[in-house]
Amino acid sequence: MPAPEVVIGVDSSTQSAKAVFVEAATGRILAAGRAEHRVTGEAGARESDPEGWWRALCEAVAEGFAGAGVPAAAVTGIAVAGQQHGLVVLDRSGRPLRPAALWNDTRAAPQAAALARVLGGPAGWAARTGSVPVAAVTAAKWQWLREHEPRAADAAAAVRLPHDFLTERLTGTAVTDPGDASGTGWYATGTGAYDRRTLEHIGLDPVLLPEIAPTGATRVGPLTASAAAALGLLPGIAVAAGTGDNMAAAVGLGLGGAGLLGRPVLSLGTSGTVYAATRARPVSPALSGFAATDGTFLPLGCTLNCTLAVDKMAALLGLDREAAEPGGEVVLLPYLDGERTPDLPAASGLLTGLRHITSREQLLGAAYEGAVVTVLRALDEVSRACGQDPAGPGAADVPLRLIGGGAAGRHWVETVRRLSGRPLLLPHGREPVATGAAALAASAATGEDPVALAIGWGAGEGTELPATERDIPTWERVVRVLDRAGGTLLS
């Protein structure tokens, strides 16, 4: 009996690469491989060696092969979804000139603030590119590089995003997609092209950038012989353009399908994000107004401090992450890496409300609450960007799709449930980013619509938890501290 056709979806995230082997006809995950890569830096710096991403991708694919038990001939396509915003600068041979500055590297905060004041100010940026520059945005990182490491900027023969770098290793072709490109600050969501005004202002020659694949055109080339040898695959199989991690998760959850437009997703990972798919182009200065890889748009709010920050607090307290209790009077804003939403790149953590009776478990619970309130505050703005009234009838009855590593944690789930007062839907698939990449790979191999493929695979189906009474006192206590702290106590 011949082996089923298989596609590989890769999630190259901040800390690791995951490769899922998916049966193309059914969406059944046959196996998954994982390999870590290093993040280095302090005092706001967060960097990784892009070569480490490639090594981790190869190791993850090898582990996936061992678990899937299928021959190389069964694999018909591959796609990479990657962490957004990172700045990769390459020499003429395609090798990194320096470590990549990652999305959560906050050193470019002054450059972001300076950019936000020009070219029409925040409203002008939102209207053109969909997003106002913050420290995460690639354009700000390029400005930082020009000012602090001009030799590296001058020597750059190519500028890439993390997923672009890996796709180029697979195909030998410099290409990106509209979704990930929309997080750079130099792509205009209104025109679907690089924004000339931004590129001129930051002194970036567009010849250094990859070609933008048309929306929906997921196949960008065959797998090269050298990449095939490194991965144990056959040369010539389909390679998709891939996309950013949030855009891939949207595909993996089927959000572009008509029945799920406007349905919110909350992702609990290294970062906390909330987003939804919409046909209308978002132009809110309070959000990142991303394009999506399927032709929809993805208004998104993102925080820097989520599961990693809470795990750090658990380690400092000597507790298991599940040993938390509600924080009581304590408020802890775990802004250990600065913060993106609200835009406080120089922030540090803030603790208030301590009493003699405060327990370690309450301190940990307060860290959960601070992280969850921070990301949930962006939810109303996402709803408005989708043409919905967040306070309207029935708005609180719409389930939140909860994904990311935190969605597997009991206390994360219960904290979101308690502070949102909304029902939660926990998708059965635990790897929506990699699954979305697999749907893009299947689309590249077959020509079918990736969102339709994902929906056919059961994308987004899961277990629904009913709403509980919203914990208004805790919500208001955390919000009061956050609003009072603003840019003074946290700066």
Q: How many CB atoms lie within 10 A of CB 230?
A: 17
Output the six-digit token pair for 264: 């919110």
How far is Cα 490 from Cα 482, in angstroms, rounded to an integer?
9
The residues, any chain, with a CB within 8 Å of residue 179's CB and separated by 6 or more, are: 243, 244, 247, 290, 291, 292, 293, 298
CA 139 to centroid of chain Cα atoms: 17
Output the six-digit token pair for 490: 């946290």
How far is Cα 167 from Cα 153, in angstroms, rounded to an integer?
22
- For the chain, the C-alpha Rg in angstroms (whole number) is 21
Output the six-digit token pair for 373: 């309130």
How far is Cα 413 from Cα 322, in angstroms, rounded to an integer?
11
Q: Is 300:266 a contact under the CB 8 Å cutoff?
A: no
Which residues are the active-site residues?
A: 245
Got the DSSP string for 291-347? E-TTS-EEEEEEES-SHHHHHHHHHHHT--TT-----TT-EEE--BTBBTTTTBTT-
How far is Cα 18 from Cα 59, in angstroms, rounded to an integer?
9
Q: Which residues pair with 8 in a beta bridge?
A: 21, 78
Q: Is 214:181 a contact under the CB 8 Å cutoff?
A: no
The residues, any chain, with a CB within 8 Å of residue 227's CB and separated by 6 or more, are: 169, 170, 171, 172, 233, 235
Angle between helices 472-485 and 410-420 (to 10 degrees): 90
